[in-house]
């Protein structure tokens, strides 16, 4: 599960990043509201953890703008603002939960797990591209009705390509989103993974390739002739 934490107190942000990473989460952080909004809108996150009082845009504004632009990712406010009207405001604006500082880390984990369990996201029930269908809930993929044999990493990579269908993704973006790694020009992990994924997705269908290389730019999943 990939989280974005927008928290201006750097020690708190690092405490959260370290603790959540140790519990299996992939965590990105932003230290001001403007950077947080940009990352929320351009990244691929399963949940946002927002402070309210931030430099630049405050947490209210981040949530409001994210919802205005159609971002439906769950949001948990983690803030020292403990008035009832603040909690009501956050939840009324579309947040999924509201936790007041100081907090017990175990309670934060429990609330994140609860949000993940109850999350309802109809468009994610199935992703389609031609005769390729992927179901994020069951983590299964089918091509022309035949189930594909995918490793967990294959599935994550294919899911990224399908969610951003038609968009050319650079190796740096793929490394960041799938492996949580910064770009290293010496690594060929992306090329190897794409080659393996092509064998499974396009290998049996040489006349209907879906995964394409854009020389010098990256990779894109699209139906031949589209875009």
Q: What is the DSSP string of 114-127?
A: HHHHH---GGGG-E
Per-residue pLDDT at 78 exceeds 60: yes
Look at residue 162 in the predicted model and tell me its pLDDT: 93
Per-residue pLDDT at 117 exceeds 80: no
Per-residue pLDDT at 26 exceeds 60: yes
Both structure tokens of 143: 């091509």
Per-residue pLDDT at 119 exceeds 80: no
Look at residue 44 in the predicted model and tell me its pLDDT: 87
In this prediction, residues 131-159 reach a mean pLDDT of: 89
Look at residue 4 in the predicted model and tell me its pLDDT: 96
Which residues, 6+ apart, have CB-to-CB distance to 9 below 8 Å? 51
Homologous superfamily assigned to 2-118: Response regulator (3.40.50.2300)
Give the C-alpha separation, 177 to 43, whole Å. Answer: 8
| pTM (two decimals) | 0.55
Q: Which fold has domain 123-221?
A: Arc Repressor Mutant, subunit A (1.10.10)
Helix residue spans in the chain (DSSP H): 10-22, 33-42, 59-68, 84-92, 105-118, 152-163, 171-174, 189-201
User: What percent of the chain lies above the pLDDT cut of 90?
Assistant: 59
In this prediction, residues 26-55 reach a mean pLDDT of: 94
Do the beta carbons of residue 2 and residue 156 sit within 8 Å? no
Between strands 75-79 and 97-100, the pairing is: parallel
- For the chain, the domains span 2-118, 123-221
Look at residue 120 in the predicted model and tell me its pLDDT: 45
In terms of pLDDT, which residue wins out, 120 or 215? Answer: 215
Per-residue pLDDT at 222 exceeds 90: yes
Whole-Å CA distances, 66 to 39, 73, 88, 94: 11, 9, 19, 10
Look at residue 104 in the predicted model and tell me its pLDDT: 94
Look at residue 121 in the predicted model and tell me its pLDDT: 44
Tell me the residue ranges of DSSP E strands in the chain. 2-6, 26-30, 47-50, 75-79, 97-100, 127-129, 132-135, 140-143, 146-147, 211-214, 218-221
The tens digit of pLDDT for each residue in 178-199 reads 875 555 555 688 898 999 999 9
In this prediction, residues 85-91 reach a mean pLDDT of: 88
In this prediction, residues 86-113 reach a mean pLDDT of: 90
In this prediction, residues 171-184 reach a mean pLDDT of: 72
Residue 125 binned pLDDT confidence (cut-offs 50, 70, 90): low
Do the beta carbons of residue 135 and residue 125 sit within 8 Å? yes
Q: Do domains 2-118 and 123-221 have the same CATH topology?
A: no
């Amino acid at each position: 599960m990939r989280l974005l934490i927008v928290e201006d107190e750097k020690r708190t942000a690092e405490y959260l990043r370290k603790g959540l990473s140790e519990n299996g989460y992939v965590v990105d952080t932003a230290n001001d509201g403007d950077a947080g909004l940009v990352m929320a809108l351009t990244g691929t996150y399963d949940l946002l953890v927002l402070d309210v009082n931030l430099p630049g845009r405050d947490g209210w504004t981040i949530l409001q703008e994210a919802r205005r632009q159609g971002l439906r990712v769950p949001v948990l406010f983690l803030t020292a603002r403990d008035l009832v009207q603040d909690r009501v405001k956050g939840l009324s604006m579309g947040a999924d939960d509201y936790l007041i500082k100081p907090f017990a880390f175990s309670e934060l984990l429990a609330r994140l797990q609860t949000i993940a369990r109850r999350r309802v996201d109809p468009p994610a029930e199935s992703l389609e591209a031609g005769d390729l269908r992927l179901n994020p809930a069951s983590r299964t993929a089918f091509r022309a009705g035949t189930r594909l044999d995918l490793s967990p990493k294959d599935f994550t990579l294919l899911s990224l390509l399908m969610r951003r269908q038609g968009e050319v993704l650079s190796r740096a973006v793929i490394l960041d989103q799938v492996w949580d790694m910064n770009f290293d020009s010496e690594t060929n992990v992306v090329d190897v993974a794409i080659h393996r994924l092509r064998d499974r997705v396009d290998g049996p269908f040489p006349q209907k390739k879906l995964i394409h290389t854009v020389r010098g730019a990256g990779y894109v999943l699209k139906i031949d002739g589209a875009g």
